[in-house]
Amino acid sequence: MGKYEQLARDILKEVGGKENINSLTHCITRLRFKLKDESKANDDNLKNMPGVVTVMHSAGQYQVVIGNHVPAVYADVCEIAGINAGAAADEEEEAPKGVFNKLIDIISGCFSPILGPMCAAGIIKGLNALLNFLLGASYATSGTYMVLNAIGDAVFYFMPVMLGYSSAKKFKLNPVTGMLIGAALCYPTIQADALKAAGKAVGSLGVLGSYYKTFAGIPWIAANYTSTVVPVLVVTALAGKIQKLAKKLVPEMLQNFFVPFFVLLISLPVGFLIIGPVVSLATNALSTGFTSLFKMSPVVGGALVGFFWQILVIFGLHWALVPLAMINITTLGYDNVLASSFAASFAQTAALFAMFLKMKDENRKALALPAVVSGICGVTEPSIYGFTLPEKKPFIISCIGGAIGAAFTAATNAPVYIMGGLGVFGIVNYISPKGDAHGMYMQLIGIVIAMVVSFVLTYILWSDHSEEKTAETKAPEKVSGPESIVSPVAGKVINLKELK
């Protein structure tokens, strides 16, 4: 048992116990529960619990915000409840209501398990890009570059395999079957570039593109699926449905072999023939739309993302932009959408630091400083829920600072080339694979702008009234004796001698 055993027991009790849990996952800072009945959870007790930042209801999930140490708390909760990590119960989960909530739930559920390794790989890729920038062209041909590039690039190149595993758990599919689906999508000889190099197209299906081979006489529009995100999610979702049906139809003694046989035999051809081409067309159109918006008005596009990013984080809706950014990086080699969110976390952190300097309560200051450090590392939930959002004004100021910083970086063309580290660890994500550091320099300037705006405005416009509120609350308790009373309406001390 870990060191957060008591916290885990308290959380488990306040969410209604093990019997009220359908599933449990976690992201960077939050425990994400799917509860059978959210009314059984006690929000107030959880919010006031030491070790818990706040509670959120979002995308059909009951989210308990913990902080950077959430994996350790998650492990203790799972152990105490006697449940498997990532799958709190075998019962069918109640799907979130609304198409958008379902979409966010799927995205967060599929990306959360791979987020840590993906960020680690991104940091390695960023380090390699930095070394390439510092050491020059000779480094790019060295064995060190090749090894680090392979380590950092593998998770992105074989993204369908990673997502095949995590999405299989989300869609209640055998995880190894999910990995096989991802691996098939990455198989070298079926990629569009490989088929194009092997021979001329034999026909065309209009907007879907040309085809070079047929499957059972059906035209097959190939695509490049390595590093892609959406196709494997859709194919795995289909495979989960097929597996459920196959288990009903195939005799139990034959299920070990024939259930995955039918799942793979049906889902992958449908994926290659229908899902892949249609999804690729849709995602390319979406990517083109956002790219056109940023080309038409980079300042407006960047400012919108920079302003609303922290708001999206509050509700866990920032996940919606992650697949889009990955699509852009895969198809274009860079992304401007997610790049516009980079300054926002620093703006949030600067606002909190200004609050820290003006705080009078030493206990609050002791809690604020770790939140500042967390924000510098790119995790802003402790800052948002613990300090800026309850005070409102600093939070709004941080959104303004993020918007101004993002508008600058978008106007000066500072795209992100790597999905990797957060906060200070993500600065190298803006060095191009060829070693061009223009984007990194512009992002650094954008960060400074966002932080200065947020810090100065917060320091000038925000006042700490916590001691005054405490004094007002405690004043009636200090009154004693027959010479004074407390008005039950106004809560004020009335001197009886003065009334005489």
Range 63-73 average pLDDT? 84
CATH superfamily to which 5-94 belongs:
Glucose permease domain IIB (3.30.1360.60)
Q: Distance between CA 90 and CA 101 in Å, rounded? A: 22
Predicted confidence (pLDDT) at residue 478 exceeds the cutoff of 60: no
Selection from 303, 313, 301 nearest residue 348 by Cα: 313
pLDDT in tens, 230-280: 899 999 999 999 999 999 999 988 999 999 999 999 999 999 999 999 988
pTM: 0.66
Predicted confidence (pLDDT) at residue 335 exceeds the cutoff of 60: yes
The predicted structure's pLDDT at residue 500? 39
The predicted structure's pLDDT at residue 232? 94
pLDDT in tens, 198-220: 888 888 888 788 899 999 999 99
Q: Please state which of the ranges 14-23, 144-153, 366-375, 399-408 shows the lowest mean pLDDT.
A: 366-375
Domain locations in the chain as residue ranges: 5-94, 158-293, 297-461, 466-499
The predicted structure's pLDDT at residue 96? 61
The predicted structure's pLDDT at residue 442? 97
